[in-house]
């Protein structure tokens, strides 16, 4: 670990702007009118994690952004001052409690700042996917009613002609950067009143974020999460992945995706150091894995991490915790990551989805289940997880510690959903149902602002769910079979595309596979491999689930979060 | 680790009562009227940790009680059933939500059950110190209004002539034990409705426990804690001490003491295994440290753990996390524990105390600060902590992750405490003040039921505190100098007995030391050692803080939680 920024070569050479340097004697408390709130109540608010880190470990490196022309490095004390500056700057620009502030940026210090500063200003962060079309961005800006836009210099084209103030960040950390000038203006506006000049949010159920789906099917839909929910979900994420002050978190998951699954706050909770990289380039990821002491990352099941030519098994002294979700990882992928000493914590969650039988959408602050059955002590270090272990690890598992049970249910009674009776499926690993969860932490279904139908505030029994077909194993863990819309009807049977993919991906020559329902048969290509794969399928899959044709491609079309774009494939298949 | 119960010899031979065996298909949810509560709200309740453990790791050993004539061992599934049985039994006996249930027992499965079952029944656990006089116990039973008493067979004399039903536990786990018969009656009463037959407590601010001080100065005082506070404090304790499913927790701290600092719930949160021993016998403690794979314990700073003839440095593969509080550990004690590979996490908290200038009492669910400055990676394994590190570790440190900042303040304006202005002392390591804390988690000062004066609901600024004289170091950590009542006035200076003790205890021949203010001079004893110690004191202490006389004793008088009984010493000193 002598190369890279950890030798403080780059870090030591970097100077934060003068306005980033905190004065002496900082008080890390918000102003609170104690007469309005009993002394035994301080509302849950994830901003407190950063203030606490800045108080207890002020000189620890909080955030490193090394791979840009002007790298930047901030300690917790300096970072907290920058966050405070941004909060004041937003207030100076008229941001009121509850207002939405849009952020359009790749992983970089600015969007990390925004996750803390916007809630410090009692406003609501609205992160926007940088890969959306301008049309979708326009829709979200309008729909969210965002009052100010923070935008990275590479995505200014997405906010042309915006009706509200736009502040551009050139991602340089230098005094002439417009974003740094914004922070400097906040510092001046604060008149050094510090944190005590900012009001504590008294209502822990106030909104923290407003996140939108990527809108692959229709308009993006938005979901509001709360401070309390974000606080508790962040704690659960840090605990479940064993993050602590010795951890170094690499940002592969885009922070704009469901607020980075609450990791912006989980990292400060744990006093961990974070590294931001602007794109999930596999070579750059491996550079940091090898040289920067990375201990944790979150990501979709990225096969590119395995196929990178820089991929290699880590030293004996190290391993990495990879928190994988976004799409169901195959057991094959899990096994290959384990061989590199990248230990998979398979989690599952959703930003917004619809239970098939209900007009209900939900969000779970990123992950809310994890697979608990990895027999950590029994892993053969030379081989990674045994075959069976990888299969078990591919299950979605059990609800997080701050969540209630994740149930698998079916609708026992037809008719008005209000009166629908949901029954749990038996734990037989066969009977299929849909997943429903209940918030133990007010972190489910806090608000849906994009669904026009009248919404019910209460449900007969449960609650939230996703159109996902799954079952519960005898050990109580849940296992996703498929999204209901991806089911393949074949010979009168429901074939799960996911389980077909799971099996085919175990073939040693298959890097990734996606299975799609189609009556078309494309012209023969890669005939030998097709034959081989069909033979393999005949050994591992029942007749109705075997592929009728195989297409070998260089790359699969994917969303920014690593999900295969099945509807694109459908289009391609139709044209074959 | 081949001896002891871990080889499953004893464990395998133990059979739980038939009523402890759960039926198949248990649902780990309480009944909830979903129409009364939004789907995004499941109130925080630490009972959920046990239900979740029983669901996810049903066959893991939850609790071992090996050192009695009839040892008992329960898995999480079986233990959860027993807890459910007890909850039903209490309800059958007329226990209503909010009722108090007294528990008088040493560390044993029964008092562990009670911490879960009583809140499952929506009642309030009132643990009573087994070392109190019958008069004090009578007072607490009357004052708390306890409706039922669960008592261990060895302490039946404390509840003779009680006015409410008493159930005796013979601590055998066998069907003829009256306590087991109680559980069996609960199982019958449940009619196998299981957890779904018990109501979910909808109000997370409902009382969880009512704990009393030991009443060394006046009547015992009682403090109520809430479900929400207990839940969050338990998570903080598990996180701060890095407890997980591989942890084995040894009960040295009495569970009756401030609900075992919320560890009954922290342990189930973490899926850890716990071992109960009825008394903190140093040899038995070392038996388990050596043979049972203990990873964690909480305790007062027990010098007996070091002086035990069985004490020895642990194998290279192991170390133990000792969570130490109850009295300020000396840096010498910390250093000696570190040499045995017992890593001290020094925490600080209080059950109930009084801010000197306010009529306010408080409780903090056990620990709410910890010392964060242990340079874990720099410890010389052969020597333990360096001298300076031990001194730093002896500080009380910083507030827990789910707590707000712990402040050190002084009253800037005399007069009505309602209008008193509290100012923070500078971070100079010199200026002295008193500690005040604010609950980030509703876990401070939830209720005081034993103070007759009218209580204010809100305070001008802050809040809670203890009559403790302390300062804040330049690194922000707090350091206790003394309880104000233990200050020694010498030559016009305030001498802190604690800092004198800290220095004297560093002498290699001193096991423990306590310093007491007295104008009497006892007759000379151990003259040579007295001379030696005075010489040592002259090197390390200022003139006004040096002892005028020294008495060498075999043992110091202590409370059940390891605090030196200074008032007993005062009495002794007066008679010398």
Nearest CA in chain A to B456: A38
The vertex-B407 CA angle with B401 and B411, nearest 5°, equals: 160
The answer for residues whose C-beta is within 8 angstroms of residue A439's C-beta and 6 or more apart is A229, A403, A404, A445, B39, B40, B41, B42
Q: What is the DSSP string of B373-399?
A: ---GGG-BTTTBS-HHHHHHHTS-BEE
The residue of B40, B54, B207 whose CB has the most chain A CBs within 10 angstroms, and thus the best one to mutate to test that interface, is: B40
Does B463 reach chain A within 8 Å, measured CB to CB?
yes
Cβ distance B443 to A40 less than 8 Å, yes or no, reads yes
Residues 416-445 of B with CB under 8 A from A: 424, 426-427, 438-445
Which is more confidently placed, B533 or A459?
B533
Cβ distance B442 to A55 less than 8 Å, yes or no, reads no
* Residue A443: closest CA among A231, A270, A214: A231
Q: What is the per-residue pLDDT for B466?
A: 34
Mode of pairing for the β-strands spanning A222-226 and A447-448? antiparallel
The answer for residues whose C-beta is within 8 angstroms of residue B202's C-beta and 6 or more apart is B32, B36, B37, B43
Cβ distance B42 to A438 less than 8 Å, yes or no, reads yes
- Tell me the C-alpha distance between B303 and A267, whole Å: 38
Q: Tens of pLDDT along B403-413? A: 666 667 666 65
The answer for residues whose C-beta is within 8 angstroms of residue A231's C-beta and 6 or more apart is A44, A45, A46, A48, A204, A265
Does A212 reach chain B within 8 Å, measured CB to CB?
no
Kindly report the average pLDDT of chain B as a whole number. 77
Determine what percent of chain B is predicted with pLDDT higher than 70. Answer: 64
Query: What is each CA distance from A224 to A365, A439, B193, B309, in whole angstroms?
Result: 10, 14, 37, 61
Mode of pairing for the β-strands spanning A273-276 and A296-299? unpaired
Does A39 reach chain B within 8 Å, measured CB to CB?
yes
Q: Using a CB-CB distance cutoff of 8 angstroms, which residues of chain B are in contact with residue A369?
A: none
User: Is residue A331 classed as helix, strand or coil in its secondary structure?
Assistant: helix
CB B541 within 8 A of CB B493: no
Q: Mean per-residue pLDDT for B159-179?
A: 97
Q: Tens of pLDDT along B356-368? A: 333 334 456 666 6
* Residue A256: closest CA among A565, A47, A561: A561
Q: What is the per-residue pLDDT for B558?
A: 73
Distance from CA of B266 to the nearest CA of A (A): 12
Mark B176-189 as b/e (b = at least 16 C-beta within 10 Å): ebebbebbbbbbeb
Cβ distance B444 to A40 less than 8 Å, yes or no, reads yes
Q: What is the per-residue pLDDT for B326?
A: 63
Q: Is the pLDDT score of B373 beyond 80? A: no
**Measured between CB atoms, which of B41, B399, B443 is closest to A439?**
B41
The answer for residues whose C-beta is within 8 angstroms of residue B267's C-beta and 6 or more apart is B238, B243, B247, B249, B274
Domain A5-298 falls under CATH 3.90.550.10: no
* Residue A237: closest CA among A254, A257, A220, A260: A260
Nearest CA in chain B to A59: B475
Q: Mean per-residue pLDDT for B96-100?
A: 95
Query: What is each CA distance from A235 to A85, A117, A402, B268, in whole angstroms?
Result: 26, 19, 8, 17
The residue of A1, A22, A40, A457 whose CB has the most chain B CBs within 10 angstroms, and thus the best one to mutate to test that interface, is: A40
**Domain layout of chain B by residue ranges:** 33-299
The residue of B28, B39, B406 whose CB has the most chain A CBs within 10 angstroms, and thus the best one to mutate to test that interface, is: B39
User: Is residue B458 classed as helix, strand or coil in its secondary structure?
Assistant: coil
Q: What is the DSSP string of A190-204?
A: HTT-GGGGSBPP--T
Segments in B72-172 forming alpha helices (H):
76-92, 109-120, 134-144
Does B306 reach chain A within 8 Å, measured CB to CB?
no
* Residue A248: closest CA among A283, A290, A306: A290
Does B375 reach chain A within 8 Å, measured CB to CB?
no
Q: What is the per-residue pLDDT for B207?
A: 87
Q: Tens of pLDDT along B319-358? A: 999 988 766 677 778 888 888 999 888 777 655 444 333 3
What are the residues facing B296 on neighbouring strands?
B249, B321
Mode of pairing for the β-strands spanning A361-362 and A353-354? antiparallel
Cβ distance A439 to B398 less than 8 Å, yes or no, reads no
Nearest CA in chain A to B34: A461
Q: Using a CB-CB distance cutoff of 8 angstroms, which residues of chain B are in contact with residue A426?
A: 25
For A324, other C-beta atoms within 10 Å of its C-beta total 29
* Residue A1: closest CA among A273, A263, A279: A273
Q: pTM for the full model?
A: 0.82
Mode of pairing for the β-strands spanning B72-75 and A207-212? unpaired
Q: Using a CB-CB distance cutoff of 8 angstroms, which residues of chain B are in contact with residue A47?
A: none
* Residue A169: closest CA among A156, A155, A182, A153: A153
**Measured between CB atoms, which of A39, A402, A463 is closest to B463?**
A39
* Residue whose tokens read 């309008």: A142
Distance from CA of B553 to the nearest CA of A (A): 40
CB A82 within 8 A of CB A20: yes
Cβ distance A476 to B443 less than 8 Å, yes or no, reads no
Cβ distance A34 to B462 less than 8 Å, yes or no, reads yes
Does B372 reach chain A within 8 Å, measured CB to CB?
yes
CB A561 within 8 A of CB A506: no
- Tell me the C-alpha distance between B117 and B399, whole Å: 30
Q: Is the pLDDT score of B208 beyond 70? A: yes
Which is more confidently placed, B162 or B35?
B162
- Tell me the C-alpha distance between B384 and B314, whole Å: 12
**Measured between CB atoms, which of A41, A239, A402 is closest to B442?**
A41
Across the A/B interface, how many CB contacts are shorter than 8 Å? 131
Q: Using a CB-CB distance cutoff of 8 angstroms, which residues of chain B are in contact with residue A441?
A: 42, 44
Distance from CA of A381 to the nearest CA of B (A): 18
Cβ distance B398 to A34 less than 8 Å, yes or no, reads no
* Residue whose tokens read 């590190």: B389
**Measured between CB atoms, which of A235, A399, A426 is closest to B235?**
A235
Q: Which of B377-391, B392-406, B445-459 has the lowest mean pLDDT?
A: B445-459
* Residue A300: closest CA among A560, A510, A569: A560
**CATH fold for domain B33-299:** Rossmann fold (3.40.50)
Does B25 reach chain A within 8 Å, measured CB to CB?
yes
- Tell me the C-alpha distance between A175 and A187, whole Å: 13
- Tell me the C-alpha distance between A104 and A159, whole Å: 9
**Measured between CB atoms, which of B39, B269, B460 is closest to A34?**
B460
Q: Which CATH class is domain A505-576?
A: alpha beta
Cβ distance A464 to B39 less than 8 Å, yes or no, reads yes
Q: Is the pLDDT score of B198 beyond 90? A: yes
Distance from CA of B427 to the nearest CA of A (A): 8
Q: Is the pLDDT score of B397 beyond 50? A: yes
Backbone angles phi, psi at B141, to 5 degrees: -60, -45
**Measured between CB atoms, which of B25, B28, B405 is closest to A405?**
B28
Strand intervals (E) in B310-437: 320-324, 342-349, 367-370, 398-399, 406-411, 422-424, 432-437
The answer for residues whose C-beta is within 8 angstroms of residue B576's C-beta and 6 or more apart is B518, B520, B521, B522, B523, B551
- Tell me the C-alpha distance between B565 and A131, whole Å: 68
Q: Does the interface ipTM go beyond 0.85?
A: no
- Tell me the C-alpha distance between B143 and B219, whole Å: 10
Q: Tens of pLDDT along B277-336? A: 999 999 999 999 999 999 999 988 777 888 888 999 999 889 999 988 766 677 778 888
Q: Using a CB-CB distance cutoff of 8 angstroms, which residues of chain B are in contact with residue A229?
A: 40
Cβ distance B446 to A57 less than 8 Å, yes or no, reads no
Does B55 reach chain A within 8 Å, measured CB to CB?
yes
Distance from CA of B203 to the nearest CA of A (A): 13
Q: What is the per-residue pLDDT for A483?
A: 55
Per-residue pLDDT tens listing for chain A (576 residues): 345 677 777 788 899 999 999 998 888 888 876 556 655 567 889 999 999 899 888 999 999 999 999 999 999 999 999 999 999 999 999 999 999 999 999 999 999 999 999 999 999 999 999 988 899 999 999 989 999 999 999 999 999 999 999 999 999 999 999 999 999 999 999 999 999 999 989 888 888 998 887 665 567 777 778 888 888 889 988 998 899 999 999 999 999 988 998 999 999 999 999 999 999 999 999 999 999 999 999 988 777 888 888 999 999 889 999 988 766 677 778 888 888 999 888 777 655 444 333 333 445 666 667 666 544 334 444 444 556 666 666 666 677 666 666 667 666 655 554 445 567 777 776 676 666 666 544 433 333 332 222 233 322 222 333 334 555 666 666 666 555 555 555 555 556 666 667 667 766 666 666 766 555 444 555 677 777 777 877 777 777 677 777 777 767 777 655 667 777 777 776 665
Distance from CA of A44 to the nearest CA of B (A): 7
Distance from CA of A457 to the nearest CA of B (A): 7
* Residue B282: closest CA among B248, B306, B249: B306
How is residue A364 annotated by DSSP?
-
Q: Using a CB-CB distance cutoff of 8 angstroms, which residues of chain B are in contact with residue A246?
A: 377
Q: What is the per-residue pLDDT for B393?
A: 64
């Amino acid at each position: 670990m002598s190369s890279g920024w950890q030798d403080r070569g780059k870090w030591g050479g970097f100077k934060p702007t003068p306005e980033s340097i905190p004065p002496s004697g900082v008080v890390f408390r918000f102003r609170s009118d104690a007469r309005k709130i009993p002394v035994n109540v301080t509302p849950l608010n994830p901003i407190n994690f950063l203030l606490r880190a800045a108080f207890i470990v002020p000189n620890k490196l909080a955030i490193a952004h090394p791979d840009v022309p002007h790298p930047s490095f901030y300690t917790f004390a300096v970072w907290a001052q920058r966050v405070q500056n941004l909060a004041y700057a937003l207030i100076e620009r008229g941001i009121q409690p509850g207002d939405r502030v849009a952020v359009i940026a790749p992983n970089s210090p600015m969007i990390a700042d925004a996750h803390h500063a916007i809630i410090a200003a009692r406003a609501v962060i609205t992160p926007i996917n940088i890969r959306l079309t301008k049309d979708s961005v326009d829709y979200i800006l309008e729909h969210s009613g965002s009052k100010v836009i923070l935008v990275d210099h590479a995505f200014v084209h997405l906010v042309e002609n915006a009706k509200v103030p736009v502040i551009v960040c050139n991602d340089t950390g230098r005094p002439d950067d417009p974003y740094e000038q914004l922070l400097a203006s906040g510092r001046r506006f604060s008149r050094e009143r510090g944190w005590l000049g900012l009001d504590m949010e008294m209502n822990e159920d106030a909104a923290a974020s407003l996140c939108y789906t990527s809108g692959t099917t229709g308009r993006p839909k938005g979901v509001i999460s709360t401070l309390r929910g974000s606080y508790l979900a962040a704690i659960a994420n840090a605990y479940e992945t064993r993050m602590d002050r010795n951890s170094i978190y690499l940002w592969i998951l885009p922070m704009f995706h469901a607020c980075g699954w609450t990791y912006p706050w989980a990292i400060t909770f744990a006093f961990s150091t974070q590294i931001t990289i602007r794109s999930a380039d596999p070579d750059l990821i491996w550079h940091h894995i090898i040289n920067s002491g990375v201990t944790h990352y979150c990501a979709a099941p990225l096969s590119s991490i395995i196929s990178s030519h820089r991929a290699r098994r880590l030293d004996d002294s190290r391993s990495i915790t990879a928190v994988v979700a976004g799409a169901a990882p195959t057991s094959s992928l899990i096994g290959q990551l384990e061989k590199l000493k990248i230990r998979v914590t398979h989690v599952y969650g959703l930003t917004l989805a619809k239970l098939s039988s209900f007009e209900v959408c939900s969000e779970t602050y990123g992950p809310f289940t994890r697979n608990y059955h990895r027999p950590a002590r029994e892993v053969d270090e030379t081989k990674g997880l045994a075959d069976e272990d990888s299969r078990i690890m591919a299950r979605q598992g059990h609800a997080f510690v701050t969540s209630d049970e994740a149930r698998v249910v079916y609708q026992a009674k037809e008719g008005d959903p209000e009166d629908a009776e949901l029954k749990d499926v038996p734990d037989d690993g066969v009977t299929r149902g849909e997943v429903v969860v209940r918030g133990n932490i007010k972190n489910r279904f806090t608000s849906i602002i994009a669904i026009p139908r009248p919404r019910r505030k209460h449900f007969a029994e449960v609650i939230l769910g996703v159109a996902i077909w799954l079952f519960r194993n005898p050990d109580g863990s849940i296992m996703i079979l498929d999204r209901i819309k991806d089911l393949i009807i074949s010979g009168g049977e429901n074939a799960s595309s996911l389980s077909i993919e799971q099996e085919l991906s175990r073939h040693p020559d298959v890097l990734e596979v996606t299975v799609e329902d189609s009556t078309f048969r494309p012209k023969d290509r890669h005939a030998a491999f097709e034959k081989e794969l069909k033979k393999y399928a005949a050994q591992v899959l029942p007749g109705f689930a075997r592929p009728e044709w195989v297409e070998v491609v260089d790359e699969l079309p994917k969303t920014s979060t690593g999900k295969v774009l099945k509807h694109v494939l459908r289009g391609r298949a139709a044209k074959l």
